[in-house]
Structure 1
Amino acid sequence: MSGLVIALIVDIVESRKLKDRVGAQRSIRTTFEDALRVHRPLRPLWPTVGDEFQAIFPTLGHALLATTQVRLSLPDDVDCRFGLGRGETVDVDEQAPGAIQDGSAWWNARRAIEETHRREHGGEPYLRSWFISNTPREVSAMALVNSFLLLRDASISSMRPRDRRLTAGSLYGYTQSELAEQEQITQSAVSQSLRRSGGAALVAAQHELLKGEIQ
């Protein structure tokens, strides 16, 4: 695959502490499948070594939306980290049962997820995502994207389970009345939850990023 793309590396937070790691991996794949029905990746999520997954997106906007949807929609006891890297990908061995890839997109995604680990275990325990690109035109854009990721992850990490479900539903395009029926609460309660949790602001921010056509 040639041209600049977004490579995504996903790993499971504290996977060794999970009682059902197989179930957790299954829930991650299912959640990604749901998130990618609207904005399809260049290559869907696939498992790699250990508790890692990978995917390839055509644009940064699509990758940011998908990872937001996934974090909001995962089961309460499962969480993921995301390393996003801009660059090129190349097939190393096309004859292998599963395509083995290399390239600057993967190097940057690996650096990004390592930076996420470092920051998460430093002074930013809520952080789950980071973006790295070594293209000259994106030096300043990296700071803007990572500022968004810091705020996004802090917001999601502080949400209660219902807040996440309502924010996810809103991001998927459900109306507040539809969400109220799903949760068996009033429309007013949905509106209050989205305002209080920051979910409404997060959804608005995601829509602005897509309108801006972040490539």
Structure 2
Amino acid sequence: MVANQVAVIVDIVESRRLADRRAAQLELADVFAAVDARTRPSLPLRATVGDEFQAVYPAVGPALEAILLARLALPEGLDCRFGLGLGEVEHVDDGPIGAIQDGSGWWRAREAIVMAHDREDRRVPSSRSWFRGGPEHAGLEALVNAYLLARDQVVGAMNLRARRLTYGVMCGRLQSELAVEEGITQSAVSQALRRSGGAGLVTGIEQLVVLP
């Protein structure tokens, strides 16, 4: 029996408008490697074809944590879209650039990234992430997507400093350390985290990381 996992597909927002797509993909590869080092992927975030990256996580909570870290760490001028699919992730073969996989987790991740793109283009411009769990997980799907809609709105409104500070706190760094790096006071770090919503993001993911 193939166990359920969370397949994740990532693509670059408006990648065709980038002046140097290769440089952007290399920057993303560095960001995703740092995220992999701090999370628990079953399959690390890796480039596949074009502007797409893929990963697999053992459960919904770790997947949500990883994509939040990834968005917070993105360099200026780059943004990504994330599709998450809960379901079977089955190893088919070993290809020249890594494992070849199939299963309902991947089908749902593909559906999810299309849906995220659709919402971004229409009703919710801040939307960058979507989750598909299938009919057997309808309640979980609704819960996670409500969270993602709110989370994307908060992250999208953050400036680069607020993202850096939130990322640092999520990585377990002290506010005093972050203050030295930013050339501000610890009080200013705390205020920035509260005003930007970063403190809420950190607390929220601490609650959701235990999701099955």
Q: TM-score, normalised by structure 2?
A: 0.96
The amino acid that maps onto 1:162 is R
- 1:52 corresponding residue in structure 2: 52
Match of 1:204 in 2: 203
Supply the distance in 2 between the matched residues of 1:162 and 1:134 (Cα, whole angstroms).
37
> Gaps (5+ residues) in structure 1?
none
- Runs of 4+ residues deviating >4 angstroms: none
Deviation digits for residues 79-129 of structure 1 (CA, Å, limit 9, x no counterpart): 10000000112233x253233221100000000000000000011010100
| CA deviation map 1:15-68 (0-9, x unaligned) | 011112111111111111111213221111222221001111111111100100
Question: Residue in 2 aligned with 1:122?
Answer: 122
Partner amino acid for 1:207?
Answer: E
CA RMSD of superposed structures (Å): 1.3
* d(CA) in 1 for partners of 2:95, 2:179: 49
Corresponding residue pairs, total? 211
**1:214 paired to 2:211:** yes
Identity %: 52
For residues 185 and 100 of structure 2, the distance between their equivalents in structure 1, rounded to whole angstroms, comes to 50
CA distance in 2, matches of 1:95, 1:20: 31
Residue aligning to 1:155: 154
Give unmatched runs, 5+ long, in structure 2: none
Following the alignment from structure 1 to structure 2, what is the Cα–Cα distance between the partners of residues 69 and 95? Answer: 29
Q: Counterpart of 1:167?
A: 166
TM-score, normalising length from structure 1? 0.94
SS in 1 for 2:38: coil
Q: Distance in 2 between matches of 1:16 and 1:158?
A: 23
Equivalence map 1:22-171=2 (5 Å): 22-92=22-92, 94-97=93-96, 98-134=98-134, 136=136, 138-171=137-170
**Residues of 2 paired with 1:170 and 1:80: CA distance?**
22
Say whether the 8 Å CA contact 2:133–2:140 is kept in structure 1.
no
SS in structure 1 opposite 2:2?
Answer: coil
Output the CA distance in 2 between the equivalents of 1:86 and 1:172: 25
**Residues 95 and 195 of structure 1: CA distance in aligned 2, closer, same or farther (over 3 Å):** closer
Query: 1:152 deviation in Å?
Result: 0.7
